[in-house]
Structure 1
């Protein structure tokens, strides 16, 4: 995919409100990091009060995944999740616009040797990530230390798409954006020894998935990780990031590559991935993206798990 380019059409009056909003956000994120964390908490609590549909979905997911948790504890977790989402709004802007040296001071990276070993041995690497609220800044911090490519879906607003791509790709001039539907392109990059960020933890529909348990619920789980690893001859390296409670930044962990992957079947691989998802999410549930309808697709004859909108 070509690099993002500024177009004269971005100066059209229809984009002026977005320019104004982006300018205001740029000014706000010049504040100290801890001040941005406080602003994010306020924003998140405001979202909790007004985003009723998002709140219902997140609450339902927590109920499904943690049925043994006391309701009072689930409600506390739900509020903290909205707080994390509010902070993520400013983290996105930080990753796009902060000077790289300032941003780099927040990174605490472990396991980078796993990615370096794959590159040294000429093998591609699938960075198997999750949709944590910190995914934007996590990818930016890792991208400063090692070239990583990312799966990408074009935004409907052309100006926002330009700003987003420019912000994401500035950390490493060698990084590439791969269209989400460009399977052949991704496999070619993996065979060239590239590292690609990929998250298999969302519901992309029953047609592209198989049903295997996730938190004890049959969940539509994509098999693409197996196909990419096999056809791209690539290692699968789990990747997680977490916002540290003491305000010192983010802990990024590149875990050891999955051994014996792909395995004996797509179902076995999908179950293995979901078990890893469970473990990673349980360690940091307040920072996971619970507002996604993860269990929307259902096996034939199974009841729906969400109320109609």
Structure 2
């Protein structure tokens, strides 16, 4: 079956789930989280290992409580994302009950210097994408799935007006540089682990993590404004708060280690607002510093 056909089928399945009432989605998400813990699937194992790394001082009972909360929030986020992907953007943006720092983004965009939005894996970043698109065109960097059908699906569900999806591959830097030099906006998930050689190690929750230099290189070379942004869940239903804030100046430092250290410090501060809303199911510490003697902690 052709990738576009599979993507269309996936879209219709997502749309069916997305039509369920919010309480049903929440209940279904909680059931998914229970199953993940019961059968200790990949999401459960990775989250538990990350908590051992990032919160070594927690008592076992405290860590298990946080582990359960993370899986519950992750499952809910996955299902609510299906809704956001398949419902009108105007309807989705009505879920933003609070908006903080909205003017910062508008002012930065109006300055003509270009804007880099660093959006950590916190809360619901797909809702954030739709808010950004509501303010004007934006180029969003994404890592394409290995499956052509999966890639076609993402291009379809994120293919709203004003959103240009840029594959995180060789030509991406040139494309993003041009967008910024033209005064446009770029969205980057700054806490994705890059390939060895495409980043620098810096502390993240007390442990060295290979961190992308893309944000800092673009900021340094273009003079674009760097902002952090996220949509934080603030209630049991479809209740979110938008947050936009200025990034520390050190993110654009010419020294790469200084820059990525500042980048990680800001992401960590956001994640600590509510650890359950951060994507702890991602293998953030797979690659280790050369000569450290450390192995992959997820093996």
Q: TM-score, normalised by structure 2?
A: 0.89
| CA drift at 1:91 | 2.0
- What pairs up with 1:51-70 in 2 under 5 angstroms? 51-70=40-59
- What pairs up with 1:198-237 in 2 under 5 angstroms? 198-237=188-227
| CA drift at 1:22 | 4.2
User: What is the DSSP-based 3-state SS (H/G/I as helix, E as strand, rest coil) of the residue aligned with 1:254?
Assistant: strand
Distance in 1 between residues matched to 2:13 and 2:153, nearest whole Å? 14
| CA drift at 1:264 | 5.0
1:240/1:254 contact within 8 Å kept? yes
Q: 1:8 to 1:288 in 2, by over 3 A?
A: closer
| CA drift at 1:226 | 1.3
Distance in 2 between residues matched to 1:243 and 1:227, nearest whole Å? 31
Distance in 2 between residues matched to 1:111 and 1:130, nearest whole Å? 16
* Unpaired stretches in structure 2, ≥5 consecutive residues: none
**Aligned match of 1:41 in 30, 45, 70?**
30
1:219/1:294 contact within 8 Å kept? yes
* Unpaired stretches in structure 1, ≥5 consecutive residues: 1-6
Distance in 2 between residues matched to 1:262 and 1:21, nearest whole Å? 40
User: What is the DSSP-based 3-state SS (H/G/I as helix, E as strand, rest coil) of the residue aligned with 1:201?
Assistant: coil
In the other structure, the counterpart of 1:306 is 297
Correspondence 1:244 to 2:234: yes
Distance in 2 between residues matched to 1:278 and 1:9, nearest whole Å? 37
**Aligned match of 1:297 in 276, 287, 290?**
287
| CA drift at 1:184 | 0.5
Correspondence 1:93 to 2:70: no
| CA drift at 1:19 | 5.4
| CA drift at 1:209 | 1.8
Distance in 1 between residues matched to 2:279 and 2:32, nearest whole Å? 16
Output one character per residue of 1:99-146: Cα deviation in whole Å (capped at 9) or x when no partner.
Answer: 233212102322121111112110111111112362223322443344
**Aligned match of 2:115 in 118, 122, 125?**
125
Distance in 1 between residues matched to 2:241 and 2:234, nearest whole Å? 7
1:125/1:236 contact within 8 Å kept? yes
In the other structure, the counterpart of 1:78 is 67
Q: 1:221 to 1:50 in 2, by over 3 A?
A: same
User: What is the DSSP-based 3-state SS (H/G/I as helix, E as strand, rest coil) of the residue aligned with 2:249?
Assistant: coil
Distance in 2 between residues matched to 1:229 and 1:283, nearest whole Å? 26
**Aligned match of 1:176 in 135, 155, 164?**
164
Q: 1:112 to 1:146 in 2, by over 3 A?
A: farther
Output one character per residue of 1:157-211: Cα deviation in whole Å (capped at 9) or x when no partner.
Answer: 44443332222122xx232111212110111001111111112213223322222
**Aligned match of 1:284 in 274, 279, 285?**
274
In the other structure, the counterpart of 1:106 is 95
The number of residue pairs the alignment matches comes to 295
Correspondence 1:137 to 2:137: no
Distance in 2 between residues matched to 1:285 and 1:81, nearest whole Å? 7
